Amino acid sequence: MSDILHHEHHNERPSHRPDWLWHLGVAGFVAVWWVVYHQLIPFSEWITSLVPVERHSHTGEAIAFFFYDVPKVMMLLTLIVFAMGVVRSFFSPEKTRALLSGKREGVGNVLSAGLGVLTPFCSCSAVPLFIGFVSAGVPLGVTFSFLIAAPMVNEVALVLLFGLVGWQVALTYLAFGLGIAIVAGFIIGKLKLEGWLQDWVREIHSGAGGAELIEGERLTMVDRYKLGIEAVKEIFGKVWIWIILGIAMGALIHGYVPEDLMVRIMGAEAWWSVPAAVVMGIPMYTNAAGVIPIVEALLGKGAALGTVLAFMMSVIALSLPEMIILKQVLTLRLIAVFIGVVGSGILAVGFLFNLIF
């Protein structure tokens, strides 16, 4: 089987495009990207100057904001999603499972959260992945660390935070996202809730779980580039409209919403704003792309960072549709514990940030 795969790899690659051309192409792309990226401010000013409005009016501000942020975010996303696509080609759920199975809690939770970020994951395969992990002897808490980190700490969220808010906030989000995944998974593991899985999941758990595995294909660097390009296409197909809508909304808030309003509603003074933000985030289901541009504009108008981050984490990590998917494998009690533990983590992060920043 692996022989056949191998053979095909060599045959199917277009022979007129040798490897070195691919390497050159990727290097050239990065160089051009770099040059263009540093011309974005003059570009946005130029576009704004074409529109017959006063540059420092509300409308002028909003337009400049829009034409600077949209290309910037699109460019950052292209580069980072491509890079992550290449990195992820070195990982697979099967390899991750092998690494995690039988790992002790603690170390296992840390490893699991990290792998959650690096392993290719789509929320539509959350259930098979969950069962695959648990049936192979990955402890429940360790599995949860993976399932919390995978959606919450994703490159789209990080790129948008980096591009629209700043690297400090992006880095803190990364650290606290991983932190919540590790600690929440650890606590769920300590509670020993294996009995709260749906019955049929437990059966697989105790029975002969390890179904046949696909033998690992060996990928060439060019295959990995192609996977990176696929990732860019896929992410863009999903998020471009949200980015444009989100930034347009952000631009409006940027130009028009009075500052003191946001300070009053979402400022650090209002202690209840953090729990309110978490609760509001649960029924909302959008990807990071849709929510972050709004987040940025809210921050610019005086909303507190902790409140805004709590809202964002809640939208991404605790969503109602995802709970409905997980209901297939988890009992309601276990889902309630999951929401409780992760929600408390998010609350803690929110309060902490409002205290620090």
Partner 1 sequence: MKSVKVYGPGCKRCETTAEMVREAAAKLGLEVEVEKVTDPKSIAMAGVMSTPGISIDGKLVHAGGLPEAGKLEGWLAS
Residues lying near partner 1 in the complex (CB under 8 A): 1, 4-5, 8, 11-12, 92-94, 97, 120-122, 124-125, 127-129, 131-133, 135, 200, 204, 210-214, 230, 328-329
Burial 268-287 (b: 16+ CB within 10 A, else e): bebeebbbbbbeebbeeebb
- Could you give the residue ranges of the DSSP H alpha helices within 153-271? 155-164, 167-190, 199-206, 221-256, 259-266
| Nearest distance in Å: CB 212, partner 1 | 5
Give the residue with the Cβ less far from partner 1, 131 or 315: 131
Q: Kindly tell me the burial class for residue 339, based on how many C-beta atoms sit within 10 Å of its own C-beta (0-12, 13-18, 19 or more).
A: middle
Please say which residue, 121 or 311, places its beta carbon nearer to partner 1.
Answer: 121
Residues 6+ apart with CB under 8 A from 9: 217, 218, 219, 220, 223
Tell me how far, at minimum, the Cβ of 340 lies from partner 1, in Å: 24
The CB-of-132 to partner 1 minimum distance in angstroms stands at 4
Alpha-carbon gap, residue 275 to 280, rounded angstroms = 8
Q: Smallest distance from the beta carbon of 201 to partner 1, in angstroms?
A: 8
Of 346, 352, 191, residue with least CA distance to 277:
346
* Identity of the residue, 204 or 252, whose beta carbon is nearer to partner 1 in the bound complex: 204
The SS3 assignment for 102 reads: coil
Minimum separation from the CB atom of position 32 to partner 1 (A): 28
Nearer to partner 1, 46 or 200 (CB): 200
Strand partners, 330: 197
Closest CB to partner 1 among residues 35, 212: 212
